[in-house]
């Protein structure tokens, strides 16, 4: 697969193994080590395999005189079938700078890793790659629905760095079938996942099958609901690389970087940026699914704003979340046994007849704030403290705070009648309006919820 390749360095990309000042092996090639063929692994005297794990340490400056030693030890490592422990490497790089992490990724994988560039602030990845002095490759997904400003930005980035980005496009037949069947804007009615699958996920899947690792611009603060536990490096839980399932390594060099700090870096390095950012756009995707955000709003509120907060992933990074949620469900004979949540006297537990009665009333004696939840949902669990705090603050104000368990057999009803997209969904039932109002924000702290209620009363 031909990807954009920098020409800023003459350092060979196969220099995978280095030593730090203590003489400890600090980097190994995943191509030569993790993916070594079983037949190349020598047997011990007892006949067992000698596969060992090397824990990589943060990159440090080294003396050029030691490069011959690295080459020798790289060959030895390949012959012995040494393997990196990616979980341990993630721990080692937890406090490393983005530049150190980028250098480690490019050093380990050389020509078999590529940077994913979306046309937003992840241009920082290209800048970090350039600063390492190592060769690097860049690719991007052209969905056919991007803003014109994004296309111009792509061109500016290519000229600034002297690279040619390799663009991946959706299958024309799949796009044609989707549009002819459901129209150009079906995602406003039935969600964005189908369109994203055709225009983004499948093209990315095809591209990643040609590499052994990729680098993304994911940050923990981008989406608290879906990215808060993003590691620095991991075995990709969604996509497969050139060696099949479980072989692709995913690097997130800016996982622990705050968005403000990232922008300070871009400004200080005079890096070109997408002009949409100056128009109020923070998170940038396809034109129909991206809009500016107001001051104080979270950046992901500008993406798929008509959907529930926890659905705001296009499918490129959300598999790990789905797997963890499934693992969090405890069932016995098909019945969920997870202990209930939001259990204080100030929060009224509504039954199905109770919530139906709220829906029927055109005028209510009191306004209600109700959370639709599932006790096994990690995001419901995460907002429990703030919701209980909210209940305390609203006590005596004439506004009731309630909860309705909407999983299991109640879920179809909640989806049809209560605007349930995913858990948790928060509804406000005004005194003089029959239709409930859905809380649109991802911010579920007590202050944000109080502001929402006060704005409607």
Cα angle 35, 36, 38; round to 5: 120
Residues serving a catalytic function are: 377, 380
Quick one: 103 and 181 in the same domain?
Answer: yes
Identify whether 100 is part of a domain. yes
Q: What is the distance of C-alpha 447 from the center of its chain?
A: 26
- Cα–Cα distance for residue pair 127/441, rounded to 1 Å: 33
Q: Is residue 131 part of a domain?
A: yes
Straight-line distance from the first to the last Cα atom of the chain, in angstroms, rounded to the nearest whole number: 58
Is 134 in the same domain as 196?
A: yes
Give yes or no for a contact between 81 and 40, defined as CB atoms under 8 angstroms apart: yes
Confirm whether 22 is domain-assigned. no
User: Domain of 402: which CATH number?
Assistant: 3.40.30.10
Residue 404, C-beta contacts closer than 8 angstroms, at least 6 positions apart: 349, 350, 354, 355, 370, 371, 372, 373, 410, 414, 418
What backbone torsions phi and psi does residue 51 show, to the nearest 5 degrees? -65, 120
Residues paired with residue 248 on neighbouring β-strands, in sequence order = none
CA dist., res. 238 & res. 250, Å (int) = 10
Q: Tens digit of pLDDT for each residue in 363-379? A: 888 999 999 999 988 78
Residues 160, 204, single domain; the answer is yes
Same domain (yes/no): 156, 281 = yes
Q: Between residues 65 and 315, which one has the greater pLDDT?
A: 315
Do 358 and 287 lie in one domain? The reply is no
- Same domain, residue pair 352 and 269: no
Domain assignment present for 286:
yes
Please return the burial class of 359, using the count of CB atoms within 10 Å of its CB with bins 0-12, 13-18 and 19+. Answer: middle
Domain CATH number, residue 112: 3.40.50.620
* 192 and 283 inside one domain: yes
- Which helix H or strand E contains 168, and what residues bound it? strand 166-168
Distance of alpha carbon 397 from alpha carbon 387, whole angstroms = 16
Higher pLDDT among residues 204 and 19, named by residue: 204
Spatial separation of the C-alpha atoms in residues 193 and 243, rounded to whole Å: 27
Is residue 45 one of the residues assigned to a domain?
A: no
Which long-range contacts (C-beta less than 8 Å, at least 24 apart) are formed by 187-191?
Answer: 187/288, 187/289, 187/304, 188/306, 191/307, 191/311
Of residues 200, 233, 208, the one with CA closest to residue 218: 233
Residue 217 lies in a domain: yes
Residue 276 lies in a domain: yes
Distances (CA, A) of 386 to 37, 112, 174, 389: 52, 45, 44, 5
Number of domains into which the chain is organized: 2
Task: Examine the pLDDT at 132 and tell me if it is beyond 80.
Answer: yes
Higher pLDDT, 189 or 311: 189
65-74, 392-401, 440-449, range with the lowest pLDDT: 65-74
Q: What is the pLDDT of residues 70-128, one digit of tens each?
A: 333 333 433 344 467 899 999 999 899 999 999 999 999 999 999 999 887 889 999 99
**Residue 373: its pLDDT value, please?**
95
294 shares its domain with 354: no
| C-alpha–C-alpha distance, residues 321 and 261, integer Å | 26
Domain interval for residue 431: 335-455
Kindly provide the residue ranges of all beta strands, DSSP E only, lying in 279-338, ordered along the sequence: 331-332, 335-336
**Res 423 pLDDT > 80:** yes
Residues 138 and 246 in one domain: yes
pLDDT in tens, 245-298: 888 999 999 999 988 899 999 999 999 999 998 998 888 889 998 888 776 666
355, 415 contact by CB (below 8 A): no
């Amino acid at each position: 697969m031909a990807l954009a390749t920098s020409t800023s360095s003459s350092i060979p990309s196969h220099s995978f193994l280095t030593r730090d000042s203590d003489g400890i092996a600090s980097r190994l090639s995943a191509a030569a080590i993790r993916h070594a063929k079983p037949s190349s692994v020598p047997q011990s005297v007892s006949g067992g395999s000698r596969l060992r794990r090397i824990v990589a340490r943060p990159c440090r400056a080294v003396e050029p005189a030691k490069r011959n030693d690295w080459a020798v030890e790289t060959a030895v490592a390949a012959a012995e079938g040494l393997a990196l422990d990616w979980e341990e490497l993630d721990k080692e790089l937890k406090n490393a700078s983005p530049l150190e992490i980028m250098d480690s990724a490019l050093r380990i994988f050389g020509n078999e890793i590529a940077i994913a560039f979306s046309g937003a602030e992840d241009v920082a990845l290209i800048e970090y790659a350039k600063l390492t002095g190592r060769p690097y490759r860049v690719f991007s997904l052209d969905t056919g629905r991007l803003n014109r400003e994004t296309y111009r930005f792509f061109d500016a980035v290519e000229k600034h760095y002297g690279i040619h980005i390799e663009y991946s496009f959706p299958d024309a037949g799949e796009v044609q079938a989707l549009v002819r069947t459901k129209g150009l804007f079906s995602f406003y009615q039935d969600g964005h996942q189908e369109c994203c699958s055709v225009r983004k996920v499948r093209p990315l899947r095809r591209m990643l099958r040609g590499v052994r690792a990729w680098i993304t611009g994911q940050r923990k603060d981008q989406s608290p609901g879906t990215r808060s536990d993003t590691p620095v490096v991991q075995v990709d839980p969604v996509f497969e690389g050139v060696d099949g399932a479980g072989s692709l390594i995913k690097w997130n060099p800016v996982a622990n970087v705050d968005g403000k700090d990232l922008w300070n870096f871009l400004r200080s390095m005079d890096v070109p940026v997408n002009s949409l950012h100056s128009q109020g756009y923070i998170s940038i995707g396809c034109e129909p699914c991206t809009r500016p955000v107001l001051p104080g709003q979270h950046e992901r509120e500008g993406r798929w704003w008509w959907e529930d907060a926890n659905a705001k992933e296009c499918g490129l990074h959300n598999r790990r979340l789905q797997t963890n949620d499934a693992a969090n469900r405890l069932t016995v004979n098909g019945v969920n046994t997870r202990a209930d949540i939001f259990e204080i006297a100030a929060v009224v537990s509504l039954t199905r007849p109770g919530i139906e009665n709220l829906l029927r009333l055109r005028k209510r004696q009191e306004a209600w704030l109700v959370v639709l939840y599932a006790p096994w949902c990690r995001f419901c669990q995460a907002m429990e403290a703030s919701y209980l705090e909210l209940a305390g603050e609203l006590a005596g104000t004439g506004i009731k705070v309630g909860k309705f368990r909407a999983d299991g057999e109640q879920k179809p009803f909640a989806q049809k009648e209560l605007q349930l997209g995913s858990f948790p969904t928060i509804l406000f039932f005004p005194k003089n309006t029959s239709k409930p109002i859905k809380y649109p924000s991802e911010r579920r702290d007590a202050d944000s919820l109080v502001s929402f209620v006060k704005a409607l009363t």
